[in-house]
Each structure stands twice: as C-alpha cells, then as structure tokens.
Amino acid sequence: MATTTDNNPASAGMLRTIIDALPLTATLAAIAVTWLTWPDTAASDGDVPPLQPVKVSSAEALQGVFTDAGYAWPADQVPPVSVQSFPNDLAETRTEVKKSLFFRTLLPLVLAENARIEAQREELMAAIAGDLPEDRQTEVLAQLSREYGVKTDPEADATAQTLRARVDAVPPALALAQAAKESGWGTSRFALEGNNLFGEWTWDASQGMTPRNRNADADHFVRRFETLRISVRSYLNNLNRHDAYERFRSLRTRARQAGRDMTPAQMAGGLERYSERGMAYVDEVRAMITTNRLDRVMANVRLTELPERVAQR
C-alpha cells in the first residue's frame, strides 16, 4: 500500500455550486470561460481547471456518457468530464470493456490535475524570478509551501529549490497504470466504497475504512475520498511531497535539467518504496504500461470542450 501524507484536499466549493445550479448548455459555457479565467491558480482549494461532474448508476450508463461525448479508447481528444464514482457493476463487464471504461474515466482527471499543477508551477517560477508583485510573490510561496509540505521559510532559497522539485506533473501513463493495479481496475472494495484508486493509507479513522484482513497489531486505515478526482489529486500530491518518493522527484528534476522528458517506465523506477514489494512492484507497473501501450496512447492527449449531448445518467 502507498504511504500517504494525510492531506485532505478541499471539495469543489464555489465552482461546483455554480455548475450544479446551471442547465447543461449553460454549464458548458461556464466551463469554457472559467478554464481560462479562474483566479488564484496557486490556491490549494477548488477544482481547477473545472470539469463537468457526472454520476452514473451502471457500466452501461458510463459507456453511454462516453459515447455521447464521442470519447473512445484510445483517444487523443479527451472531454472534460469528472465521473464521481465507479459503478458497482464494473467488475461484471467484459475485460476489454472494463479496461476501456476505467482508462477513459481516469484520464480526464489526471490531465486536469496535471494542468492544475502546471499552472501552479508557472506561477511558482514567476515568483522565484521576481516577476510578481511582492505581496503576491509571498502569498504564492507560502501557499505552495503548505500544499507541498515544505517547512522552511517560504522566502528562503532552499524553499524555492525544494518547490521546483515538488511542484511538477506526473506522467499520465504512470498514474493510469498505478491506479489500475492498486484498484483492480476500479472494482476493489476501496475503490467502490471509498473512491480510493491508489491504495493510500491514513491513521485517522474518520478519514478511512478498516481493511478486512488487517493484522491485529496494525492501526492503519485505507483512505476514503469524496470523489475519484480528489483521490487523483491526493495521489499526485503524495508523490510530490512525501519523503518516500524523493528518488522519483530527483529523476524528474534531472530530466528537466537535461531538457528531456522521462518515459513513464523510467519514472516508475522512483517508486520502489510505494510498495513493500520494492522493485517487483516497479516491474509490475512497467509491465502494466507496456501491455496496455499507455506510453503510446498518452503521447498526444489533450482535454477538449464537452459536447452538449452529454448528460447525467
């Protein structure tokens, strides 16, 4: 199971209130405008960029949502939909259908959360370069230090260096492979009852579920999340701030400094401490990426606008 930081990402807040109150056609316009103009991208609250929340009652309904959106698998254009939870009958679908539904559900969430991190990074670099007003520069560094677990003085050089390593995106192919492995393709008890896609633990009983086969002397719980998107956000934050994944961040930083992208399989090499199984776990994640050709599928994906015919099912 993954080590977790026990951070508790905020719910959608004001944006969700706006979206829930609008008919779908108006929601689409709100998404298009908000995507470009949402303020305070460095803030740790809110769903930024916004996605259309979708609730489904069955795997068939989930397939219908994706069909209405013109969203097949594999796809390079990904509609901005946020499926809130997996349907309980997902395990009953044919294997290839289940895998397709799983990947299509997760991909918009990972792309959106990476976009949020990239916006944070852009503002971070502007703050470090002194290109922001002084009060905004101080605010950005303080906000990001809190979110990414940096405890040194926000204005110290060491803080800037640590934040540069932590505020960065994660390869979508790696995230999808880990989610599939950790959640049993979205069919595990923890995925269905707690929206937990990445096996994250907590020691706070109010935030978790008790594992059925937990050792008598163990005191951990499995984290419970309000939505799948919040689980994705927690996972990315976990990789970006926890001491266990220092090697993962080091690999990513070295790639940036060399002006090259790290492949998902290479980045998986920094996850030896994600599981007690060590490199055997890393090898399994790499096999998941290769078998499902995720590195190729992810090459040119991007979020698009949402077709008007998409609706709640």
Question: In whole angstroms, what is the distance from residue 205 CA to residue 234 CA?
Answer: 17
Over range 278-283, report the average pLDDT: 97
Question: In whole angstroms, what is the distance from residue 260 CA to residue 195 CA?
Answer: 34
Over range 293-302, report the average pLDDT: 88
pLDDT band per the 50, 70, 90 thresholds, residue 12:
very low
Question: In whole angstroms, what is the distance from residue 238 CA to residue 192 CA?
Answer: 21
Question: In whole angstroms, what is the distance from residue 92 CA to residue 69 CA?
Answer: 23
Over range 117-131, report the average pLDDT: 96
User: Which residues lie below 8 Å from residue 89, measured CB to CB, with a gap of 6+?
Assistant: 58, 59
User: Which residues lie below 8 Å from residue 71, measured CB to CB, with a gap of 6+?
Assistant: 77, 78, 79, 81, 104
The whole-angstrom distance between residue 136's C-alpha and the CA centroid of its chain comes to 26
pLDDT band per the 50, 70, 90 thresholds, residue 129:
very high
pLDDT band per the 50, 70, 90 thresholds, residue 46:
low
The whole-angstrom distance between residue 12's C-alpha and the CA centroid of its chain comes to 14
Nearest to 101 by CA among 92, 90, 110, 111: 90
User: In the chain, where are the structural domains located?
Assistant: 15-303
The pLDDT value recorded for residue 299 is 80
How many residues can be counted in the chain? 313
pLDDT exceeds cutoff 70 at 312: no
The pairing of strands 302-303 and 77-78 is parallel
CATH number among 3.40.640.10, 3.40.50.1950, 1.20.210.10, 1.10.530.10, domain 15-303: 1.10.530.10
pLDDT band per the 50, 70, 90 thresholds, residue 21:
very low
For the ranges 24-28, 63-67, 223-227, 237-241, the lowest mean pLDDT is seen at 24-28
Question: Among positive and negative, which fits the CA dihedral 244, 248, 251, 253?
Answer: negative
The pLDDT value recorded for residue 213 is 77
Q: Do 185 and 90 form a contact (C-beta atoms < 8 A)?
A: yes
Q: Do 69 and 81 form a contact (C-beta atoms < 8 A)?
A: yes
pLDDT digits (tens, 9 = 90+) for 170-218: 999 999 999 999 999 999 999 999 999 998 867 566 666 666 776 766 6
Q: Give the DSSP letter of residue 53.
A: E
Q: Do 227 and 82 form a contact (C-beta atoms < 8 A)?
A: yes
